[in-house]
Structure 1
Amino acid sequence: MHYLHAAITESMRLYPPVPLNSQSCLSDDVLPDGTAVKKGWFMSYISYAMGRMETIWGPDCREYKPERWLDVGKFRPESPFKFPAFHAGPRMCLGKEMAYIQMKSIVACVLERLAVELADKEARPVKMISLTLRMKGGLLLRFRKRSARH
């Protein structure tokens, strides 16, 4: 389950469910990198771009590598300010752990029973940015039952 947790997290690093966000500052504050933000200012961040920044994730930042989240086979989380899929600080998503439990249980149940493949291996999904990141026309998949184990 550690590898599955890492695989899901790596997917959200590259394809965050909420690809961009804006906040307004209620009082003067300082960001983790030392940048001052004044009361009344609006600030936007683009987690989609952050997941692809070499300065944050290294030279392999565009590669899908679940192993980057593992330390001797165990899941190792990053700072939520580096990986903001569930936001950070006092606005951190309260449902984060429940979301991971649900994602991991669904993936494990599906993959235990079904083999999954792209319906069209040549198709390239077109991303659409809205409140949430989604694919134009969805992602067409083909499922087949796995053979019974002996």
Structure 2
Amino acid sequence: MAQNPSAEARILEESNRVLGQRTSSSLTIPSMEELRKMHYLQGAVYETLRLYPPVQMDSKFAKNDDVLPDGTYVKKGTRVAYHPYAMGRMETIWEPDCLEFKPERWLNNDGVLVPENPYRYPVFQAGVRPCLGKDMGLLAMKVVAITLIKQFHIKLANPSWAPHFIPGLTATLKGGMPVVVTERLV
């Protein structure tokens, strides 16, 4: 949100419509029903994970001989790797605006969330063994995001800051992300 003030404004607008004008002193955790109505927030979470997946690269081993959708033969025992971080930035998958943060790409014309094919968006795995923690993780991200956004304004300490990832199993930022946090006045 620190780099996308228009998205932050839309999340605030959506939350005020769904939750009402709650002040920081009366802030309560949104209900499941309220969270289900916040499609733009969900789109913003999905878009964040598209560009910054928690697991940047993963691989699987073929249990049996198989053929990939493009016709590539995979022999039993072969390791097949995929890279959600790179896939989230591919024009062939996400169109020419793939590097832009656009929560709208997850919404239909009525503003309702439309989930993406998990093979195109493999942040939570795909196939017969998707991430068991997906729903709980998404719920936690939405609750934390809406709680912070409603109560605080967060901006980058250095406007020219850009994330630099350290290779590893999970996404880690080199040097963290220096921010300035101020209480949001209603």
- Range into which the TM-score falls when normalised by the shorter chain: over 0.9
Give the TM-score of the pair, scaled to structure 1.
0.92
Higher strand share: 1
In structure 1, list runs of 5 or more residues that go unmatched: none
Q: How many residues align?
A: 148
In structure 2, list runs of 5 or more residues that go unmatched: 1-37
Per-residue deviation, residues 87-111 of structure 1 (Å, max 9, x unmatched): 0011200111111110000000111
Which of the residues 125, 131, 144 maps onto 2:182?
A: 144
Instruction: Read off the aligned partner of 1:115 and give its amino acid letter.
Output: H
Which of the residues 54, 61, 64 maps onto 2:91?
A: 54
- After superposing the two structures, state which structure 1 stretch, 57-66 or 29-38, moved more: 29-38
Aligned to 1:43: 80
Instruction: Read off the aligned partner of 1:86 and give its amino acid letter.
Output: F
Aligned to 2:173: 135
Give the TM-score of the pair, scaled to structure 2.
0.75
C-alpha deviation, 1:84, in angstroms = 0.3
1:122 aligns with 2:160: yes
- In structure 2, C-alpha distance between the alignment counterparts of 1:3 and 1:34, rounded to whole Å: 37
- In structure 1, C-alpha distance between the alignment counterparts of 2:128 and 2:70, rounded to whole Å: 17
Which stretches of structure 1, 4 residues or more, deviate above 4 A after TM superposition?
none
> What secondary structure is seen at the aligned counterpart in 2 of 1:91?
coil
1:21 aligns with 2:55: no
Aligned to 1:63: 100
C-alpha deviation, 1:33, in angstroms = 3.8
